[in-house]
């Protein structure tokens, strides 16, 4: 190739930038599908140890995969049944909460006026209007419903991935060459991921159950919803706990007053400190030690 056919550095940068833009735009357009695929892959990594355990117990690979999918599906349906019943109750009570929010706002305005503070200087009529809060809550519920509606597709993708990975893994284990090195590389990469996901998921599940029990004791409505919401949000580092804390505190405030809301903050905070500083580190220590012993 002569010098006249060479691509200039500027043109290369332009072509590279255009490719990046196209790839980014394509990923953004396909984000809903990619999210489902990534979630399915994450769940597949999490439940693969169960499939391997069933195979070691002399179940056939196909039967082991079917049993794993059945267990995951039944567990998910049990949680969803409780969640749906709570969602129905929450939707029915939203108008009542709107009235109570209006009354709470008026009481705050009256208190500020009684101590000589002008409410108009601190809060305008457009700040936290009850109707807007209820609308945002309704939109949030709709998002949750749409996400849960994709559960069947996620289970289907998990089933396909489990069948394919199990079949390839079985073929690789019977092979004397490295033609199936992808599975060995996948196992090496996913081992630590599976251990971490299992530990974080187990700790989050136990903490969510403890939070639901605490809310039941404190007589806070829709405890199951807030427990499921906490389990989802606890995967978000640093701020996930605080986002999960807001809804039950508001519900406790509207139903029983300031003391109940404060009790929720104190109890949930104590449970979070217990799990973050004692229980979860112990799980991490035992899980990683067992993983290292297995590797050695």
Q: What is the pLDDT of residues 57-91, one digit of tens each?
A: 888 888 888 888 888 788 777 777 777 777 767 77
Q: What is the pLDDT of residues 215-265, one digit of tens each?
A: 999 999 888 888 888 887 887 777 888 888 988 998 888 888 889 999 999
What global pTM score does this model have? 0.66
CB 254 within 8 A of CB 100: yes
- Cα gap 185→183, rounded to integer Å: 5
Q: At what angle do helices 181-217 and 31-56 cross, to 10 degrees?
A: 100
Share of the chain above pLDDT 70, in %: 67
- Evaluate whether 215 touches 227 at the Cβ level (below 8 Å): yes
Task: Categorize the per-residue pLDDT at 111 as very low, low, confident or very high, splitting at 50, 70 and 90.
Answer: low
CA pair distance 259, 218, nearest whole angstrom: 11
Q: Is-contact 226 215, C-beta < 8 A? A: yes
Judged against a pLDDT cut of 60, whether residue 123 lies above it is answered with no
The string of pLDDT tens digits covering residues 270-286 is 999 999 888 888 877 77
Distance CA 73, CA 124 (A): 49
Q: What is the C-alpha separation between 97 and 93, in angstroms, rounded? A: 6
pLDDT at 235: 76
Determine whether 22 is exposed, middle or buried from the number of CB atoms within 10 Å of its CB (0-12, 13-18, 19+): exposed
3-class state of residue 225 by DSSP? helix
List the one residue out of 91, 92, 97 whose CA is nearest residue 138.
91
User: Which residue in 160, 191, 162, 157 sits closest to 64, CA to CA?
Assistant: 162
Q: What is the dihedral of CA 137, 140, 141, 145, to 10 degrees?
A: 170
The string of pLDDT tens digits covering residues 8-30 is: 777 777 777 777 877 777 767 76
Contact between residue 148 and residue 80 where contact means Cβ atoms under 8 Å apart: yes
Q: Give the mean pLDDT of the chain.
A: 75
First and final C-alpha spacing in the chain: 54
């Amino acid at each position: 190739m002569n010098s006249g056919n060479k691509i200039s550095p500027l043109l290369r940068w332009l072509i590279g930038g255009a490719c990046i833009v196209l790839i980014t735009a394509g990923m953004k357009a396909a984000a809903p599908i990619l999210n489902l695929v990534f979630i399915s892959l994450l769940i597949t990594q999490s439940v693969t140890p169960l499939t391997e355990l069933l195979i070691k117990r002399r179940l056939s690979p196909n039967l082991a995969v079917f049993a794993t999918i059945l267990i995951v599906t039944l567990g998910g349906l049990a949680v969803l049944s409780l969640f749906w019943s709570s969602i129905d109750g929450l939707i029915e009570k939203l108008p009542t909460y709107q009235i109570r929010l209006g009354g709470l706002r008026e009481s705050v305005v009256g208190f500020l006026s009684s101590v000589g503070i002008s409410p108009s200087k601190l809060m305008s009529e457009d700040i936290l209007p009850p109707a807007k809060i209820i609308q945002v809550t309704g939109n949030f519920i709709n998002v949750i419903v749409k996400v849960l509606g994709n559960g069947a597709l996620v289970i289907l993708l998990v089933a396909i991935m489990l069948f394919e990975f199990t079949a390839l893994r079985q073929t690789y284990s019977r092979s004397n060459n490295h033609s199936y090195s992808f599975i060995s590389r996948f196992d090496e990469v996913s081992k630590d991921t599976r251990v971490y996901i299992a530990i974080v998921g187990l700790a989050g599940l136990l903490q969510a159950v403890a939070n639901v029990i605490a809310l039941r004791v404190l007589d806070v409505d829709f405890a199951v919803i807030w427990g499921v919401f906490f389990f989802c949000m606890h995967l978000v580092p640093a701020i996930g706990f605080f986002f999960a804390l807001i809804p039950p505190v508001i519900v406790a405030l509207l139903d029983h007053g300031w003391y109940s809301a404060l009790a929720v903050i104190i109890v949930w905070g104590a449970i979070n400190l217990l799990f973050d500083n004692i229980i979860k580190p112990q799980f991490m220590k035992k899980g990683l030690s067992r993983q290292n012993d297995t590797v050695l």
